[in-house]
Amino acid sequence: MRVLVAMSGGVDSSVAAARLVAEGHEVVGATLKLWGGPQSSGCCSVADVDDARRVAQQLGIPHHVFNLTEDFERDVVDPYVVAHAEGRTPNPCIECNRHIKFERLLERARRLGFDRLATGHHAQVRERGGRFALLRGADAAKDQSYVLSMLGQSQLGAIVLPVGTMTKTQVRAEAASLGLRTAAKPDSQDVCFIHDGEGRDGFLSSRLELHGGEVVDDASGVPLGAVDAVELVTVGQRRGMPAGSTRRYAVAVDVRARRVRVADAARAVVDEVSLVPGTVTWVDRPLADGDEAVAQASAHGRPARCIVRVGGGGGGSGEPVAGTGEDRPVVVCRFHTPQRPVAPGQTLAFYDAADPDAVRGAGIVAGCRRLG
């Protein structure tokens, strides 16, 4: 089998490539050049490209660099900036997976005659009766099924995740036993296009105008303080919010009014999350109205049981569900117990109620219904 391996320069993709070589496949490594600006970490820095190239040399496989900077700017960076300007908090890693790795790169792999595309993600793909299931990785602490939750049957049938059955300790041990230069390399934690020296604040201030705003109590409307930039406040955020005699959390961000509403922990809870029409995708069979599920709102967030309400539309495997209008979200998640608010722009992933390791689908959060 001919396999194109997305080699980020990290230990996971290095071991993924090594395992495929050991299995006897025809393996080619590819590193993506995504960002042309300054960066201090990520998966496409000069150092990462060099690490990937040298690991490929160690494994005796060809290595290529694909320049997808224009695609990355258009589909990941620009929407990230626009979202913040509108008071939303996007997940750029998910959008990179959606548009770049499992769309552009997968298309290129198919065009070049490869049978599969492999990555170093900690998740698992299993075939069940001719259909494909996406499952959590074996290492709960490193599980990346959440950031792959938008994948559908067409992608899952074309990808390989060789380290999904391994723990991170096992990955590093295998890399060390093979003498791979990435064996002890730290994991990348930050957004790849934001430099440590500037941070999110510096990056966004160079691309959009930031505005100061007032902070008011959600219940009384009484002013409590101010923030330097409403565009940088995330729903659910506590840091930087006026505390007083109690901790307060941001529960609403209104960029136009330049106002942030805050509430204490007892009032900063929600029982329902609505998803943006047209953003919902399903791994395979869509959840039906009234189905039980388990929802997760961040990569390592606490799963919460819920009931899914579907207000119309359909949608197949991995395809956006048809919307019914901007004021009527197609899919709503109703929690069994109150949860912390989820920021608009984030991704909510659904897992199977009977098998919480199995991803069912995902969508982008439009808003929450607060109990306070």
Please confirm, yes or no, whether 96 is among the known catalytic residues. Answer: yes
Rounded to 5°, the CA angle 44-45-48 comes to 80
Identify the residue whose tokens are 């941070």: 199
Q: Element (H or E) spanning 30, and its range?
A: strand 26-33
Catalytic-labelled residue, pool 43, 44, 93, 192: 192
> Longest C-alpha distance within the chain, in Å?
68
Which of 255, 261, 250, 257 has its CA nearest to residue 209? 255
First to last CA, the chain: 56
Structure-token pair, residue 314: 């359909």
User: In angstroms, rounded to a whole number, what is the distance separating the alpha carbons of residues 185 and 174?
Assistant: 13
Asked if residues 343 and 89 have their Cβ atoms less than 8 Å apart, the reply is: yes
- Angle between helix 11-22 and helix 168-177 axes, rounded to 10 deg: 60
User: In angstroms, rounded to a whole number, what is the distance separating the alpha carbons of residues 24 and 119?
Assistant: 17
Identify the residue whose tokens are 């060099």: 50
Within its chain, how far is the Cα of 326 from the centroid?
23
Non-local (6+) Cβ contacts of 90 within 8 A are: 79, 80, 83, 84, 345, 346
Tell me how crowded residue 106 is: count the other CB atoms within 10 A of its CB.
21
Catalytic-labelled residue, pool 44, 93, 96, 368: 96
Structure-token pair, residue 159: 């990808």
User: In angstroms, rounded to a whole number, what is the distance separating the alpha carbons of residues 5 and 30?
Assistant: 6
Active-site residue set:
96, 192
